[in-house]
Amino acid sequence: MFDQPIAIGGVSTRSNLFLAPLAGYTNFPFRLLCSSFGSGLCFTEMVSAKGLKYGNENTKTLLYTDEREGIAAAQLFGNDPEILRAACEIAELAPFPIVDINMGCPVPKIYKNGEGSALLETPALAEKIVKECVKSGKAITVKFRIGIDRDRLVTEEFAKRMEGAGASLLTVHGRTKDKVYAGEVNEEEIAKAVQAVKIPVIANGGVFSLGEGERLMKNTGAAGVMIARAALFDPQIFCEFSGKERMSKKAMFEWQMKETAALFDTRFTTVFMRKMAAFYLKGERGAAAYKERLFAAQSPEEIMKIVEEMWQ
């Protein structure tokens, strides 16, 4: 079920199981990690099109990739069609044949700026954005929610508009903007998108196990599934779907630490890997005490000492 490649524009993914763009987390080493466990396509965290166009250095660091990633996919956010197209054409995006446009982010500062999920309320503008970005030659995909709230569901019509504008694939998060990441996933709405368009539709929301992924695929008829928050707590969740062998948490963490330290400075590596260790500790005995020590650690070396003690 989860070993089917999906054609997106002129490229084909390794499978129909994707890693969602996760703000603050899906950097290059984390994407490589998830890919090694079976994710067929991994998206960068969302990148500001405006920041990219105007040369923001922090924005550019989010787009690091190399040949190990294979097919690289970036996600942009913004609300200006011309700026989004210009961002698609910038040199930093040259290694990314796939660009996803974020039309689902529920974060207030994004929404209030007319970006992310706010584009669900301006479908004509959303269409124009996709039409412009397609002119860049990239395969353009769109990730969106089913509506702003239950009284304003837009899934079917919005999916049709995005396909008509030239999108190569859609990812539908089966919650409304007001639910953020809580509540039941509306499988019926995702199914409406699947039935409304001819391009592939990926189902997203609430997948924390193989069984939940299988159910979402079956109940929606989607071409694939996208995993989000579950991967933060356990990147090896992809092994459940791919059949790949799990490794020890310690070995996994050591690899991620090494790759992160090779790419980022000491401060970023320390802060980021403290957070990742805290995620990986969820549900383990003594987690609270270890987390307290982790967040007091001031260097990667201190973190590794604690990790070696945690996972002997």
Residue 9's region, left for phi above 0, alpha for psi from -120 to 50, else beta, is left
The sign of the torsion formed by the CA atoms of 188, 189, 192, 193 equals negative
By three-state DSSP, how is residue 25 classified?
A: coil
Residue 42 annotated in active site: no
Provide the token pair at 192: 């409406």
The C-alpha atoms of residue 268 and residue 163 are separated, in whole angstroms, by 39
Beta-bridge partner residues of 98: 73, 139
Q: Which of 34, 42, 88, 105 is catalytic?
A: 105
Q: Residue 64 half-sphere exposure, CB side, CA atoms within 13 Å? A: 16
The C-alpha atoms of residue 116 and residue 80 are separated, in whole angstroms, by 12
Q: How far is CA 21 from CA 76, 228, 244, in A?
A: 10, 7, 22
Amino acid sitting at position 203? A
Just list the catalytic residues. 105
